[in-house]
Amino acid sequence: MLQHKYHSTVFIKKNVGGFSYNCTNKNPNMKKIIALLMMTMMANELMANTIKYTLSFPEAQAHYVEVEMEIPSSKEVVELKMPVWAPGSYLVREFSRHVEGFEAKQGDKNLTFNKSNKNTWLIQNPNKSNIRVKYKVYAFELTVRTSFIDESHAYLNGTSIFMYVPELMNKQHEVLVKPNASWGKISCSLGKMKNNPYHLVAENYDILSDSPFEIGNQDIIEFTAQNVKHYVAMVGPGNYDAEKIKKDFTKIVDEATSIFGTHPCKEYTFIVHNVPSGGGGLEHLNSTTVQVNRMAYSNENTYQSFLGLIAHEYFHLWNVKRLRPAALGPFNYDRENYTNMLWVSEGFTAFYDNWIVRRAGFSTTEKYLDIIANEYSNQVNLPGDKVQSVADASFDTWIKYYRRNENSNNSQVSYYDKGSIVASLLNLMIIEHSKAKQNLDDLMKYLYNEYYEKKNRGFSDEEFKKAAEKFTGRDLSEFYNKHIFGTESIDYNKYLSIVGLKTTNLNATKNEVFFGATSTTSNGKVLISAVLKNSPAYIAGINVNDEIIAIDNYRVDDLTKMLNYKKPGDKISITLSRDGMLKTIDLTLTKNESVKYKLEKISGINQDQELALKKWLE
């Protein structure tokens, strides 16, 4: 569980079952006998409380892993469960749908079992003795939150592979991996039994399920930073330079660690899937898995965004894997885990990934200011910002953010984007209140120390607010009502003035035409893909999936190009096809009112503002 700090080398608990040994006998032989007896008792008790899994891959080409479980039990009915979701990725994914061939045995005897719901198996155990369970999992989804197996490798995410016994979750869990003959390496952050890299051990189920496995022939790059041994498992070919990876990752480790002033692990593993397209990552307790375009390493922009992704996942090592809202650990694997606070867990992490990339010297100050300005602009231009609060976005992520559709921009905010903006505002408030002595780092450090290191638990909404009030020196109730639980527009210039900056809207002098719908072209057809709320297209009733055929009777091949010939106020007649029937819609184009901010210094910047700006960009 998360409240245990992880020690990868501690396998045998010192005080098993509450039995403590205090030898007062002077006879050395008797001492030895008692010691031996003690060790045997400890080992027996440990074994009796250990869940053991063996993984093999006789049908890797068909994407199967075979799982065998040895379960210590003295219960008449043994309950086994498969998680429905993977922590960090807030969607019920129903991992039990990939389970096949479930069987339970005691010695050679088959035990009867039945399912009580979609992810729970009940095994009859009349002898109340240890049992063995076998099942297969089909794994053919190469994302960071699922599992994937083929003849070349196996990537296993614990939540989609390992079943658990609810009352034994806090016991030790061991995994023996039997790799296929052509696979020569394993990468996983779990501790090893007897120095066998394929025999791994976790203190409990939470640690097991939060430690993904990569087994195959990955290229492993090693480096040490902040006294922590780091492994980078490069899976699949990519145009990376191992020496550059070591150097650049070290800078990220250094910058991230400097924010909290302490590093929580002894070893850390990056599993990097080099893929033809796509990207993203998922944080784990002492590791992360990321996906990156395999050619991203040689281009300055794509490499910088890869480093941003690495910084993001690495920052999660503190923020969310340890410092976390109360709902996010220990987890309930059986259903959704609700929190209002993903704007802190994800939004603040999004803020810090850009922050770390800049501080590590991968980006310039100008670029950083442009990123902040773009974040503000995008939020102002997003209709969903007036509909959904960032707290609601967090709570409803299970049914909204992870299930986006064509209308999401009209009805939702991203707790990543809005959360990052809130982080930037709190940062400015802290700088102002401390007279440029402190910034957001100090709040994060305080929270980490208070709720992870001292109290060893998640924080409540109110506790986070109180801590933020302590560092900003103000009552944040109004701010919360307006911008966390409410949807009121943010007065960016009010906050930016703390550091002597203001927004300038680069679109203000433009007279661009506004239609308000985006399109894609498929097989020569121009199809509407999204319609922006309150735009001319929205008001006139243009629908997603409409095929635009003509404007003013001229055939449309490229909608944007066609509209560029028009000006605000022009009336147009659109011929479209909907449900196989032609239709004409008339509408009036307006002026594009969307903003594009640039951050600029205000005139007559004073000494306090100069100091604050220096602190902001140090």
The site for Zn ion (CB under 5 A) is made up of 346, 349
| Cβ within 8 Å of residue 473, ≥6 positions away | 429, 433, 434
Contact 391, 485 (CB under 8 A): yes
Distance in Å, CB of 416 to Zn ion, minimum: 7
Question: In one letter, which amino acid is 113?
Answer: F
Name the residue nearer to Zn ion (CB basis): 248 or 346: 346
Name the residue nearer to Zn ion (CB basis): 346 or 396: 346
Quote the Cα angle for 381-384-387, to 5°.
130
Distance in Å, CB of 349 to Zn ion, minimum: 5
Name the residue nearer to Zn ion (CB basis): 268 or 495: 268
Distance in Å, CB of 436 to Zn ion, minimum: 29
Name the residue nearer to Zn ion (CB basis): 86 or 613: 86
Cα radius of gyration (the chain): 28
Name the residue nearer to Zn ion (CB basis): 238 or 281: 281
Distance in Å, CB of 313 to Zn ion, minimum: 7
Whether the bond between 330 and the residue before it is cis, its omega within 30 degrees of 0, is yes
Is 543 buried (19+), middle (13-18) or exposed (0-12) by CB count in 10 A? middle
Distance in Å, CB of 346 to Zn ion, minimum: 5
Closest CA to 350 of 399, 316, 391: 316
How far is 501 from 425, CA to CA, in rounded Å? 13
Contact 291, 278 (CB under 8 A): yes
Name the residue nearer to Zn ion (CB basis): 349 or 420: 349
Contact 280, 144 (CB under 8 A): yes
CA terminus-to-terminus distance, the chain = 37
How far is 400 from 468, CA to CA, in rounded Å? 28
Distance in Å, CB of 321 to Zn ion, minimum: 10
SS3 content of the chain, % helix, strand, coil (to 5): 35, 25, 40
Name the residue nearer to Zn ion (CB basis): 119 or 394: 394
Distance in Å, CB of 439 to Zn ion, minimum: 21
Distance in Å, CB of 341 to Zn ion, minimum: 13
Contact 444, 316 (CB under 8 A): no
Contact 333, 84 (CB under 8 A): yes
Name the residue nearer to Zn ion (CB basis): 346 or 385: 346
How far is 66 from 184, CA to CA, in rounded Å? 19
Distance in Å, CB of 242 to Zn ion, minimum: 26
Closest CA to 324 of 377, 381, 285: 285
How far is 587 from 570, CA to CA, in rounded Å? 9
Distance in Å, CB of 367 to Zn ion, minimum: 21
Distance in Å, CB of 414 to Zn ion, minimum: 12
Name the residue nearer to Zn ion (CB basis): 72 or 280: 280
Name the residue nearer to Zn ion (CB basis): 157 or 472: 157
- Number of H helices and E strands in the chain, helices first, is 17, 30
DSSP code string of 591-604? E-----EEEEEPTT
Name the residue nearer to Zn ion (CB basis): 64 or 306: 306
Name the residue nearer to Zn ion (CB basis): 346 or 392: 346
Tokens found for residue 278: 């796509």
Question: In one letter, which amino acid is 188?
Answer: C
Name the residue nearer to Zn ion (CB basis): 315 or 616: 315
How far is 99 from 161, CA to CA, in rounded Å? 9
Three-state SS sequence of 384-441: HHHCCCHHHHHHCCCCCHHHCCCCHHHHCCCHHHHHHHHHHHHHHHHHHHCCCCCCHH
Distance in Å, CB of 423 to Zn ion, minimum: 13
| Cβ within 8 Å of residue 523, ≥6 positions away | none
Question: What are 501's strand-pairing partners?
Answer: 601
Distance in Å, CB of 323 to Zn ion, minimum: 13
